[in-house]
A and B are shown apart, each in its own frame.
Chain A
Amino acid sequence: MDVLITGLLLGGTYALIAMGLNLQYGMARIMNLANGEMLVAGGFAAFWFWTGGSISPLLTIFIVAPIAFVLNWSIYKVFLQPLVKRAKSRGQLEVDSILTTFGLSFVSVGVMLALFGGNYFNYSYLSVPVIIFGDTYGANRVVAFLAAVAICGSLWLWLSFSRAGLSIRAISVAPDSARLVGIDVRRLSALAFALGGAVTATGGALISTFLTLDASTGVVFTLKALVIVIMGGVGEVRGTIAAAVLLGLLETFVATVIDPGLTLAAAYLLFIVVLLFRPQGLFGRRGQ
């Protein structure tokens, strides 16, 4: 029971991060390997506001999200759109965007190392116990989970029922045909990319309330988010959420029962199983 609820709480936050990546990879078609660094930057911002001005991380996300949105919009416009324009095929764009975002990821790690140093950082926010079904959990985890659920839920509603959401889903299914029905693919891809970055940074601010981060942990989160997105099916919102919860449960199980040092190994094992038996993802359609 303890493992189940801790895993569920962790999975909720993972869902938020993976949603950010899914918006970027599934909708904007950019495999963003600098995603984890955006998360760490969000965490840094929350840490900075909390220690510097005692501003609650829950309020910080309203500052972090717009900044991350603008930042990712500019990254897309400056670095990625030229690649989209020059790419002759999907494969070419994939290779280019992988190399570019790796570059961006290393650059941002370097910048964060220079700004904040290589130390781990954590802070204590809402670390009071909450009792659920007779077991105690940190209030910060519960709050982060609730916030993640609220954001994921509103994203899902927006994607499912708004006109912009519909257009973005159209891009993710058929980018070439989307243009024929009058969708501005370029503008909406940039929008999806920027939104994905904002969601990830928000996830970082939330996750920093209960996890310890440092400048170079980003890649671990990138890897986890990638595993979740592929497991859930690229471009699938429900699949992403299900896969995130699954990963959260598995990781918590492995950490408590076997060894806490094996969490990434567990995620990786899950990834191998998915690749071998269901490469299109749990909810994905074949032949995309």
Chain B
Amino acid sequence: MRMTEAEWRDLVICLLCLGVAACFPWMVGAYWLSIGVSIAMFTVLSTSWAIFSGPTHFISLATAAFFGVGAYVVGIGIDYLPYYVLLPIAAVLGGLLAFLVGLATLRLSGVYFVIFTLGLAEFLRQMITWVQNISGTKGMYVLTSITEEHIYWQLLALAAGVWFSGWMIGRMRLGFALRIIGDDETVAKHVGINTSRAKVLLFMLPGSVAALAGAIIAPRYVYIEPSIAFTPMLSFQVVIMALLGGTGRLWGPLVGVIPFTLLWEVISISAPNQTTLLLGVSFLVIVYFLPKGFVGLVASIKRHSSIRGAQ
């Protein structure tokens, strides 16, 4: 694969940034490290979400479901298998679940997909609660020697992996097909693109990434029960952060994740009951004031100033 000079330059900048981010745990205390873990987690989730939802315009609310599956893989398996074997299992299961969901809904209109993914986390939560009621077990303990720093570095590596796959997909036939689907699905069908197949394949990426993130985070919870692993709020946070940043660029979601995670932290400390209100207002702000996110805002300001400069 041939790379241009600009691409080499971007690659070097990215690696430098990742290197600086990797030193974060040595620079700050425990409190800021926990915020760093949240930021890394939401970066992973929002970026992989945007890789699928950006070009296809299908709003997925299944993040919490995949995340919960990953957490449960670790919760169930930690007594029998070593931790590092569980991570790929979680990724495969998440991808498989995404494949099944995609098969059932992605050939239909976007509304069905939204509703289906909205219910998925709740469905899995009720099923697991029911199975636990029958078998008499309640929650599960995940006791490992994994520290907050380890979790942070794993998430950072995963984020690098997500960015890399997003960049690769953009260069592949699949990425090209998706851009056409995003512009006009009818055109895409007419030029012979199997639109359902492309969408199902792509949906497996956020599915397995979210499951992997859930598996990585699981040791942090120590105690896992359905209402912790499958929090519906997570799906909405991910959607807001990705849209706030903008889905047009790979680094777009990151621009939304950092301010929103900090804002969320402030609100949940000072007024814990008002987090839902914050979510609601953010949705409205995105639709009415930032339809293309911060990325789109910057682009339009640039365009304005260059027009003015030309005059």
Contact = CB atoms under 8 A, between A and B. Distances in A.
Given A107-B280, A109-B280, A110-B280, A275 B110 contact: no
B236 A261 contact: no
Contacts of B120: 268
Contacts of B284: 79, 100, 103-104, 107
Size bracket, chain A contacts: 35 or more
A95 B284 CA distance: 13
Contacts of A2: none
Contacts of B278: 110
Interface string B92-129: 00000000000011001111101110111011001101
Nearest to A96: B287
Given A264-B126, A265-B126, A230 B286 contact: no
A225 to B, nearest CB: 10
Contact of A95 (B110, B112, B115, B126): B110
Nearest to B271: A114
B276 interface: yes
Interface in A1-59: 31
22 contacts: A94-B111, A98-B111, A99-B59, A99-B287, A100-B284, A100-B287, A102-B283, A103-B279, A103-B284, A104-B284, A106-B279, A106-B280, A110-B276, A216-B276, A227-B115, A264-B126, A268-B119, A268-B120, A268-B122, A275-B108, A279-B108, A279-B112
Interface string B257-282: 00000000000000001101111111
B137 interface: no
A259 B281 contact: no
B1 to A, nearest CB: 34
Nearest to A269: B123
Contacts, number: 118
B63 to A, nearest CB: 14
Interface of B: 57, 59, 104-105, 108-112, 114-116, 118-120, 122-123, 126-127, 129-130, 133, 232, 236, 243, 273-274, 276-284, 286-288
Interface of A is mostly: helix
A210 interface: no
Contact of A111 (B110, B118, B277): B277
Contacts of B114: 31, 98
Contacts of A79: 284
Nearest to A224: B119
B281 A271 contact: no
A91, A100, A110, most chain B CB atoms within 10 A: A110
A59 B273 CA distance: 33
Contact of A223 (B115, B273, B277, B287): B115
Contacts of B108: 275, 279
Interface of B is mostly: helix
Contacts of B122: 220, 223, 264, 268
Given A107-B277, A279-B108, 19 more contacts: A79-B284, A91-B57, A91-B110, A98-B114, A100-B287, A103-B280, A103-B283, A103-B284, A106-B280, A109-B280, A113-B273, A219-B118, A219-B232, A220-B122, A226-B115, A264-B122, A264-B123, A269-B123, A275-B105
Given A113-B273, A114-B273, A103 B282 contact: yes
Contacts of A268: 119-120, 122-123
A101 to B, nearest CB: 9
A276 interface: yes
Interface in A47-79: 79
A275 B112 CA distance: 8
A262 B109 contact: no
A265 B110 contact: no
A106 B57 contact: no
Contacts of B59: 95, 98-99
A209 interface: no
Contacts of A276: 104
